[in-house]
Structure 1
Amino acid sequence: MASYKSFAVVGAGMIGLPIINALAERNASVVLLSRPGSSTKAVPSAVEIVQVDYNDVTAVATVFKQFKVEVVLSTVNFAGIAAQKSLIDAAKIAAVKLFAPSEYGAPTDTQPAGASNPIGGIAPKNQIAKNQIAEYLKSVNLPSMRIFTGLFIEVIPWLVGYSDHGKVRIVGKGEAPASFTSVTDIAGFVAYVLTTLPPTELEDSIFRLEGERSSLNDLGGQFKTLVEHVDRIEGEAGEVKTGLLLLLGSGAGSTGWDEAKKAERSGTEAAGSANALWQGHRWKTIKEVLNL
């Protein structure tokens, strides 16, 4: 069976725009959905941009039908997680064949209700989390593709404070191995599998990526600087950073982590197990991406 050829990407942020570019490079038909009033994005000339209210199911379904969309890739941030229900309803109406919800973080497939996993997308109180979106896709019988990537390599300097004070500042012991993957590799993988693999290998799939495996403590050596252990991160986004660092240090930052068993998976569910699907590709290291 032939691979997919027509895609809609929702959002053009840190991961959305690279995915758009990667799909365009493979001559796929791509339409970008953005919210009304959003700033203009620099996308390849062949990519159509449509501004639409994500919560307007009829309007979104009309866009999907107009562009004969086969696959919807959502790249919304945490604030937009709940809006994915409307996107899914629209995709169902438009007979979309595959929906990739906004994951791109730590694994959420065995995440207990109410668990705290900031990379995995646990939402603030009374909001919807990523694992709930996955369950909703199942409830409406719309095939899904979930991508677990660990932490984006590009955000490491911000997270550990290296950009501010030249040190690696972490919370907790920082001993557990975690998964780190570059945005470029993530986007390239998504475009590759969607335009190369048959739909039967993509429907209701989970792909676990890992560009490099490292503990927080080991980042000191990578950056050639001191590792400083603190009780919490102060200042702007301090609470978010503290939560992320605790998660990465707990083991749950690995894309092979099983939260229910508090253990690493193995075999085809191990961290980085999906890397092999992108045949011949060499995954970028932390040093390469950050020019260390």
Structure 2
Amino acid sequence: MVRVAVAGGSGQVSREVIDVLIESKKHSLTILSRKEAPTTAIVPEINWQIVDYNDKEGLVEALQGIHTLLSFVQILSDPDQKSQKNLIDAAISAGVKRFAPSEYGSKGTVDMAWWHGKEKIREYLKEVNVKGNILEYTLFQPGLFLDYLAFPYKTAKHVDPLQSVFDFENRRAIVVDGHEDAIMTLTTVADLATVVARAVDYDGRWPTTGGIRGNRLTFSQILEIGRRVRGHSFTIDKVIVEDLEAGNLKTSWSLEAVHRAVSEDQASALLKMVSIGILLSSSKGAWDSSDELNQLFPDYKFTPIEEFLAKAWEGKL
């Protein structure tokens, strides 16, 4: 048993991980949050602490005795990533052994400006460790949540459905012309949470990159699975790289459902940016996650994409 702290513990992905950690009954759990504890019952094993990420001394105090720190701090709301940098500094001062920054997505961030904050933290972690292994860390990278291909249906306990360029509901997709073989890694939210919990249990040293490869497929393979699962071929909107790089998305449809962390006035521009970014970045290998944690836990059986989607879409028009 080790003491685990979860920063940003009221977020959707963090709550999925917290549930698995609680269920394992292996660790003492502290939730760090800017918010008050929820009014719903909190299990006795959880210690809820309200923190100010600008207060380094307060963070050091909150992290005393913590072995592993998992960060789910919101990237979008902190362009300079001061919160996570302060968290890293405090973790080092408090003697925390292991840290996982707020990742939980693609391997690369090329053409995805909304995730460039991840690069700042990756560089910062390299800087603090330049003179030795000051803080052990890993980057949990499961690719795109497979659950999003079930939109608008919810398939995870806490993570809300989100649209993607693969619209299984309306049997349509957006593909970059000439890049139909671009790779996407798709991992269920449940598999991510279980693997993160296993990594917390793991006694050995974490790999710096924690690639999690639930399913690795090309765009064409995903669409073929879509045809089988949904019983009809998908309508494909093909876009060209030059248009995307110019900021133009020439399609017959667009994303409409935005993450709850995004304000309404930002939603339209961000949805267009996300579509363009995912399409461009996928053509450059950003979503082809590595498999370090698959190798670390070779006995773990990931949820196959076709099995998951067949269940999610069974009986739905």
User: TM-score, length-normalised on structure 2?
Assistant: 0.72
Partner of 1:229: 237
Alignment: residue pair count: 260
Q: Could you tell me which of 261, 276, 279 is aligned with 1:245?
A: 279
The aligned counterpart of 1:93 is 93
Q: Secondary structure at the match of 1:55?
A: coil
Map of 2:70 onto structure 1? 73
Output aligned runs, 1:88-237, within 5 Å.
Answer: 88-108=88-108, 115-117=110-112, 121-123=115-117, 129-139=120-130, 141-156=134-149, 157=151, 158-160=163-165, 162=167, 165-172=170-177, 173-195=179-201, 197-199=202-204, 201-202=205-206, 205-224=208-227, 225-231=233-239, 232=249, 234=254, 236=268, 237=271
* Helix, strand or coil at the partner of 1:217: helix
How much has 1:96 moved relative to structure 2? 0.8
8 Å CA contact 1:176, 1:251 repeated in 2: yes
Q: Who is 1:259 aligned against?
A: none
Q: Deviations over 1:187-218 (max 9, x none)?
A: 111111221x224x22x632221000111222
The answer as to 2:11 corresponding to 1:16 is no
Structure 1 counterpart SS, 2:199: helix
Deviation at 1:91, TM superposition (A): 0.8
Letter in 2 for 1:95: G
8 A contact 2:54–2:82 mirrored in 1: no
In structure 1, the residue matched to 2:63 is 64
Contact 1:212 1:286 in 2 (8 A): yes
How many Å apart are 1:77 and its aligned residue?
2.8
Letter in 2 for 1:152: F
26 and 282 in structure 1: CA distance in 2 versus 1, 3 angstrom threshold: same
- Residue 183 of structure 1 aligns with an amino acid whose one-letter code is V
SS of 2:186's partner is strand
| C-alpha contact 1:69 1:96 (8 A) present in aligned 2 | yes
What is the aligned partner in structure 2 of residue 258 from structure 1? none
User: Is the Cα–Cα contact under 8 Å of residues 85 and 121 in structure 2 kept in the other structure?
Assistant: no
Distance 1:208 1:99 in 2: 15
Give the unaligned 5+ runs of structure 2.
Answer: 152-162, 228-232, 240-248, 256-267
CA distance in 2, matches of 1:77, 1:289: 28
Inter-CA distance 164–275: structure 2 relative to 1 (3 Å threshold): same
Residue in 1 aligned with 2:306? Answer: 287
**For the residues of structure 2 that align with 1:273 and 1:118, how far apart are their CA atoms?**
26
Checking the alignment, whether the CA contact within 8 Å between 2:84 and 2:121 is kept in structure 1 is no
CA distance in 2, matches of 1:129, 1:41: 36
> What is the CA-CA distance between 1:49 and the residue it aligns to?
1.7
Secondary structure of 2:282's aligned partner: helix
> For 2:63, what is the secondary structure of its paired residue?
helix
Q: Deviations over 1:38-94 (max 9, x none)?
A: 8667764422221211221111111111xx211111112322444100001111121
Q: Residue 24 of structure 2 is aligned with which of 2, 23, 26?
A: 26
Query: How big is the alpha-carbon RMSD for the aligned residues of Structure 1 and Structure 2?
Result: 2.8
1:242-292 CA-partner distances (Å, limit 9, x unpaired)? 21122123322101xxxxxxxxxxxxxxx3242132243210122344424
Cα contact 2:97–2:136 (8 A) shared by 1: yes
Percent of pairs with identical residues: 25
Instruction: Kindly state the Cα deviation for residue 165 of structure 1 after the two structures are TM-superposed.
Output: 3.4
Structure 2 SS opposite 1:218: helix
Gaps of 5+ in 1: 256-270
Cα deviation, residue 174, structure 1: 3.1
Q: Bigger shift: 176-185 or 31-40?
A: 31-40
Q: Contact 1:118–1:244 (CA<8 Å) still a contact in 2?
A: no
Larger Rg: 2
Give 1:145 deviation, angstroms: 1.9
Report the Cα distance in structure 2 between the residues aligned to 1:36 and 1:159, rounded to whole angstroms.
30
2: CA distance, partners of 1:104 / 1:194:
15
